[in-house]
Structure formats: structure tokens, C-alpha cells
Amino acid sequence: MGIEELYAVATRELAKDLVFEINEEPVTLSIKGVLLARADSRGYNFSFFELGEDEFVLAVQMKGFTVYLGIESDEELEEEIYPELFRALLKHLTPQIALLITKAEKVYTGRADVLLDDDMGADLKEFFYGLLIKHRKGKTVYEQTEVA
């Protein structure tokens, strides 16, 4: 089976709309993309990439893989809700991400693949496919900047 199993897990477990109550207000998020990539570290970590006022990427690293989740909001998100929102996202999504990575440990031989592209917006799609190329070429995904 291989990669087909990973596509099925991503579609079944992660392609969904999520509603959280943050500061007594509902926040609706849609997972539009999932990218699986090998990581140099087997440690646990997460990162956040803000692409716009209603699009961001949550990257979760564990057990030698990084799972990037492309997420779109139904409205603009204020920065002050990010800590609580990411806490809720990680609490809710960690079991599904762990399931995907557990399967990947057994069947995945590639460097990086997009497992879900559910009508991603243009900026999100450009970011995801840029990540895909960087991972496949073995380049860092973080921008290097010089201190002024």
C-alpha cells in the first residue's frame, strides 16, 4: 500500500473543519493541506508560519518527521488569540498527527509529499509547494536573515 495509506489517513483524520471557542467567541478553522516530510531530528517540536490574516501553517515535528498543516480561518485572526488557539489545535490534533507519523514510520520511503490539497488558497498552495521543493532538495525551510 505505502503512500496510499498515508493519503487515506490524512484525508480521514485531518481533512476537517474545526470549531474552537476562544475568548468566548467561536473560531472556525479548515485544514486545507497536509505535507509530510522527513526531519533530521527525532525530537518533538512545533512551529507556526503566518501567511496572512486568515491563513497559517502549523508544523509539528516528531519521531523523524514534520507534518505541516495548512489551515484557513473563516475570518481574520487577531494575534492575541494565537497562544490559546495553538494550544487547542495541538491538544486536538496531536493524536491524528501521531497516527499519521506512526504509519509513515512503517511505510513511507520518500523525503516529502503533499498528502492533502483540499482547494488551498493561492498563498497557502505556493508556500506548501515551496516547502515540498525545499524538503526534496534537502534545503532548510527557514529563511536565513542577517542581523542589521
Q: What does the pLDDT look like over 2-40, one tens digit per residue?
A: 789 999 999 999 999 999 988 888 999 999 999 999 998
Q: Which residue has the higher pLDDT, 78 or 71?
A: 71
- pTM given for the model: 0.91
Identity (one letter) of the amino acid at 123? D
Any domain includes 22 = yes
Hey, what's the cell of 78? 487577531
What span, in angstroms and rounded, lies between the C-alpha atoms of 71 and 137? 25
Any domain includes 96 = yes
Radius of gyration of the chain (CA): 15
Q: Minimal CA–CA distance to 65: which of 117, 13, 6? A: 6
Give the number of domains in the chain.
1
Res. 146: pLDDT tops 80: no
Hey, what's the cell of 117? 490539497
C-beta of residue 41 within 8 angstroms of C-beta of residue 139: no
Which range of residues forms the domain containing residue 7? 3-137
Any domain includes 147 = no
Any domain includes 57 = yes
Any domain includes 25 = yes
DSSP letters of 79-128? GGGHHHHHHHHHHHHHHHHHHHHHHHHHH--SSEEEEEESS--HHHHHHH
C-beta of residue 57 within 8 angstroms of C-beta of residue 70: yes
Any domain includes 146 = no
What span, in angstroms and rounded, lies between the C-alpha atoms of 52 and 59? 16
CA atoms within 13 A on the CB side of 67: 30
Mean pLDDT of 51-71: 95
Identity (one letter) of the amino acid at 61? Q
